[in-house]
Structure 1
Amino acid sequence: MDKEIAAILERVVKDVARIDNELSKKAEAAFAEVKNMGNLSTETKASVDQLLTAQTTLVSVVDDLKARLGEVEQKGARRSAPTSAQSWGQQAVQAEKLIAFAAAVEGGRRVSVPVVKNVVTSADVAEGVVEPQRLPGIDVAPKQRLFIRDLIAPGSTESPAIFWVQQTGFTNAARVVPEGTAKPYSDIEFATKITPVVTVAHMFKASKQILDDFRQLQSMIDAEMRYGLKYVEEQEILFGAGGAGNIEGIVPQASAFAPAFAPEMRTPIDDLRLALLQAQLARLPASGFVLHMMDWAKIELTKNTVGDYVLANPLRLAGPTLWGKPIVETEIPEFEGEFLAGAFSTGAQIFDREDANVVISTENADDFEKNMISIRCEERLALAVKRPEAFVTGEFGTAVAAP
């Protein structure tokens, strides 16, 4: 077998040398043609292209035959007993098509050699020699898009707590005052508030070698840990109970939804408009809504009596809005069937003490001994809900209070 491959290889090498010689002559002729005529004729260009294609094909065949010759020699030395099964390489070099192709090479010609699958056994290839196919990238878990923080006014602090003054009441006594009479006094009530800075954090263990060898894995861990913080932050901003190192969330402080009236054929769309009205009556116009994604999907799929969508247009891409206000979707389970409307930009403010950051250490516990690393991701922030009445929350379909 190795003698046959060597003979074919010798013939193909001679053909490569012949084509190289012809290509050199053609190149000299083409150079002279360009020098005399200023350009290259179509016939000359086609001839050169044909020779280049043939050269590339033959060089590939030579490399393949050399590799297969080496495999045959190694297998012959390694095997102690002959086998009747033929590998794909053995079938290929014995194929009549390949022998004919090597004997009379045509420029630009391709040859297809059929082989029988499943003939390479563990006796042919040592374990671990054939690399498994690696798919690019890392299959990561889907994530919820977080936007609630973007609605709230940003801020920063360098202190462990925020001290601020909250307006708790206002009695307006302004009126027309006749000349020479006393002016009335209005009453504005205030209360001092202290909002502590809280820490949101989590940790992760990993092998030092893994992060050194796979930069993509390192960046993925970084992104996943930051996302983990943002997800908890989202829950705390909405439902934080306050005290014991927790954020005091917006929903526990918001005003209860109390619709001023009940329109005919009332729908969740009406409830959101009534919540806007309630915020406007408190002189704090709402700037957006927070809904569970299930409730927003039901609203978008609302149809009229003839089956047309009331709000959505499946053929048009547009951000979720209702009554001119942006809609923020959340997947927090306990929020399904409820909503939050509010003046996010004026009624609350987030104070960042320490932005989300990822720190890697090898000096935690026995990390140095085991060649492990500890990854910590944390942030520190405070949420000040300055005007609780700026937010309205409740369930869809809340009954109108009796007069």
Structure 2
Amino acid sequence: MTLREQYKAAIDRLTELSALAKSEGREFTENEVGEITQLSASVDELGTRIKAADDAQAAVARLTAKSDRPAPVLEGVSDRTDQALGAIGGPGGLGDTFVKSAQYKAFRDANPAGFGEGTPITFDRVKVGPLAELGRKANAAPIQAGLDRTQAIRLPMVDLTTPTPLSLLDVITRGQMAGQSIEYLQITAVTRNAAIVPNEILPADSGIKPTSGLSTNLATASAYTYADGFTVTNMMLADAPALATYLNNQLEFNLKSVVEDKVLNGSGTGGNPAGILNTSGVQAQAFDTDMVTTIRRGIGKLERIGAPITAVLVSPQDNETFDLLKDADGRYFSGGPWSAGPNTIWGRPRVVCPRLTAGTAVLGNLGTVTLLDREGMSVLAFNQHADYAARNLVYVRAELRAAQAIFKPAELVIATLA
């Protein structure tokens, strides 16, 4: 992002925070006040830098006006850093956002020679984005409701297109929350008895008008803190492109993994949220004949209550078994090893979840599973840890706070595949 783009983004965020508080008829929260303070300082700094760059460009234009040589384009350290980040895979990741923050840039500008032994290193908390960005590619379009299914198409013998695989975080719903917890009603069972009835039912008649029903359960979604950190050297901390790459590939991946694990396997006790596999009201499908038949039986259970089937979650081991299924003549039921077509089962996206145990599949309306962002993702860096200052080491920690809610457990099925 250029300086002007950063300036506009900061102004837009300030406007967004103000509009949100006004629409809800409340004062700013403590976290919002902290973020507004950081954004205000960033806007002032960016405004000063933009003016300085404009003045320098104007001066160069005047000095070169009488010359045949074209005026050079002046670029600051921050712009060169942005170009370097673009060369390593593009902006948008957790690490890219951190090294472009006002806090990181100010600290690096104050130490142009790098961070040597004894340099006190402490960054203010840097907001690097909402939870909605976790696990999504920077250039990926947001998935719209009803459009996240892999389309059934006829493929050529050799398919040269490789669609980006979906992950669990791509098929669930992302949202926000303002408090530490919320209470909500879960729909654990659905009974549909709609029917044609006579215009009048007399007391002597045996029939009565039908009644449909919902079984519900009062549940609580509490915010939990997810965190991970790495030790880096002072030299890496001063190297923005290298640091961004490291953070994108390590911290962001680890946070995504633990969130997916809790969405699936959270026990609901001992400081853990309740995941899909431990939520009351989720339907169960026992093994029937084979894996493919079992999945279809589960789809049937969902179709009978009118629930959409947006995805089928499988483990890497079971995904491999699906790909290797063959008919009596040894031909693959799927596209085989030479194609890269839609990864589906019964027309529904097959999503690989490394945190899912082999022999278990989850299918149904995955959109009913919701991650509620409480604070968003942030990064801290400091060397006041053990003897790190003497060893030129820095502890970089990323964390987020979020809650998870499953509004309609009845629209999910846990299938046993063996």
TM-score of the pair, normalised by structure 1: 0.55
Return the alpha-carbon distance in structure 1 between the equivalents of residues 211 and 292 of structure 2. Answer: 41
Q: Which residue pairs with 1:237 in the alignment?
A: 263
Cα pair 1:258 1:278 within 8 Å, conserved: no
Q: 1:159 and 2:185 equivalent? A: no
Q: Which of 401, 406, 410 in structure 2 is aligned with 1:385?
A: 406
Seen in structure 2, the aligned counterparts of structure 1 residues 250 and 366 have a Cα distance that, compared at 3 Å, is: same
Q: Deviation of residue 337 (structure 1)?
A: 1.7
SS at match of 1:335: coil
Deviates more, 1:355-364 or 1:374-383: 355-364
Q: CA deviation at 1:188?
A: 3.8
Are positions 1:341 and 2:363 aligned together? yes
Aligned CA distance change for structure 1 residues 191 and 213 (closer, same or farther; 3 Å) = closer
**2:285 equivalent to 1:257:** yes
Shift, 1:322, TM fit: 1.3
Q: Is the 8 A contact 1:226 1:357 kept in 2?
A: no
1:198 and 2:218 matched: no
CA distance in 2, matches of 1:327, 1:383: 22
Query: In the TM superposition, what is the alpha-carbon distance from 1:203 to its structure 2 partner?
Result: 2.3
**Cα separation, 1, equivalents of 2:214 and 2:261:** 33
Q: What secondary structure sits across from 2:184 in the alignment?
A: strand
Task: For 2:182 and 2:348, locate their aligned partners in 1 and report how far apart those are by CA, in whole Å.
Answer: 30
TM alignment of 1:304-343, pairs within 5 A: 304-332=327-355, 335-343=357-365
Instruction: Give CA deviations for 1:154-193 in whole Å, capped at 9, x if unaligned.
Output: 2112221122222344555655144265866554444332
8 Å contact from structure 1 (residues 148, 234) kept in 2: yes
Distance in structure 1 (CA, Å) of the matches to 2:331 and 2:350: 22
Q: Which amino acid aligns with 1:156?
A: Q
1:211–1:217 CA contact under 8 A, matched in 2: yes
Q: Which residue of 2 aligns with 1:273?
A: 296
CA distance in 1, matches of 2:353, 2:396: 28
CA displacement 1:92-126 (0-9 Å, x = unmatched): xxxxxxxxxxxxxxxxxxxxxxxxxxxxxxxxxxx
Report the count of equivalent residues: 246
Q: Which of 272, 295, 302 lines up with 2:318 in the alignment?
A: 295
**Could you tell me how far 1:354 is from its partner in structure 2?**
2.8
Partner of 2:253: 227
Residues 308, 211 of structure 1: CA spacing in aligned structure 2 closer, same or farther, 3 A cutoff?
same
Q: How many angstroms does 1:290 deviate by?
A: 1.0
- Residue aligned with 1:242, SS: coil
Once the two structures are overlaid, the 10-residue window that deviates more, 363-372 or 376-385, is 363-372
C-alpha contact 2:236 2:242 (8 A) present in aligned 1: no
Unaligned runs of 5+ in 2: 1-164, 203-207
Post-superposition shift, 1:271? 1.4
Q: Which amino acid aligns with 2:173?
A: A
Change (3 A) 1:178 1:380: same
Which of 334, 351, 372 is the equivalent residue of 2:393?
Answer: 372
Contact 2:180 2:223 in 1 (8 A): yes
Residue of structure 1 aligned with 2:380, choices 350, 354, 359? 359
SS at match of 1:244: coil
Distance 2:322 2:188 in 1: 35
Higher RCO structure, 1 or 2 (CA under 8 Å, sep 6+): 2
Paired residue for 2:149? Answer: none
CA distance in 2, matches of 1:277, 1:206: 52
**Alpha-carbon distance between aligned partners in 2 of 1:311 and 1:229, rounded to the nearest angstrom:** 33
Provide the C-alpha distance between the structure 2 equivalents of 1:390 and 1:170, rounded to a whole number of angstroms. Answer: 9
**Per-residue CA distance 1:239-286 (angstroms, 9 max, x = gap):** 110133312111222321147xx5xxx431121111111121232132
> What is the rounded CA distance, in whole Å, between the counterparts of 2:184 and 2:167 in structure 1?
26
Higher helix content, 1 or 2? 1
Deviations 1:192-211 (A, max 9, x none): 32210111112223332342
**What is the CA distance between 1:294 and its match in structure 2?**
1.7
Distance 1:391 1:196 in 2: 21
Q: Secondary structure at the match of 2:187?
A: strand
Q: Is the 8 A contact 1:294 1:336 kept in 2?
A: yes
SS at match of 2:237: helix
Gap runs ≥5 in structure 1: 1-144, 398-403
SS of the residue 2:333 aligns to? coil
Alignment of 1:49-88 (within 5 A): none
Backbone CA RMSD of aligned residues: 2.7
Change (3 A) 1:293 1:171: closer
Paired AA for residue 155 in structure 1: G
Q: How big is the shift at 1:304?
A: 1.3
C-alpha change, 1:316 and 1:168, in structure 2 (3 Å) is: closer
**In 2, Cα distance between equivalents of 1:281 and 1:186:** 14
Opposite residue 322 of structure 2, the aligned amino acid is: I
Equivalent-residue separation in structure 2 for 1:241 and 1:289 (angstroms): 21
Deviation at 1:234, TM superposition (A): 1.4
